[in-house]
Amino acid sequence: MTEPEHRNAALVRRVFAAFGKDAKAVSAAFARDIVWRVPGHTAMSGEYRGRRDVVEFLRRTGLETSGTYRSSLHTVFADDDWAVAIYRATGRRNGVDLDVDQALVIRVADGLWQEVTAVPLDSAFERFWA
């Protein structure tokens, strides 16, 4: 018998399903004081604080790529406090194509994303967003 999916894994799946389609559903999954970190030294790198700042950051991925940015969820691991999402990111920016695997390490509390750290799994990420 298959065990039901952990609630935090289901939450990650809902956020990925809504990304690029339903900004309100995405935002509703975030704590008001969420912190989202993107490493490196690129146009998108930095630490984004608060729901509004994070939603604007996510909106910028679409703007920076003329609407071509997509994320396709591959695998989710989750327990009561953490979730890790492995996904494929694709897009086109300034004549450069992006097609890389990435991860989000997500701290979850009270059914909301509290902290997110983006983890590029390919150096092409840095070149794409440079």
pLDDT (tens digit, 9 = 90+) per residue, 11-36? 999 999 999 889 899 999 999 999 99
What the block records as the tokens of 122 is: 């390919």
Phi-psi region of 46 (alpha: psi -120 to 50; beta: other; left: phi over 0): left
Ranges of residues in the chain with a pLDDT under 70 are 1
Say which CATH architecture domain 7-129 belongs to. Roll (3.10)
pTM, to two decimals: 0.90
Q: How far is CA 70 from CA 19, 38, 86, 89, 103, in A?
A: 9, 17, 14, 6, 14
Q: For 14-59, what is the HEC assignment?
A: HHHHHCCCCHHHHHHCEEEEEEEEECCCCCCCEEEECHHHHHHHHH
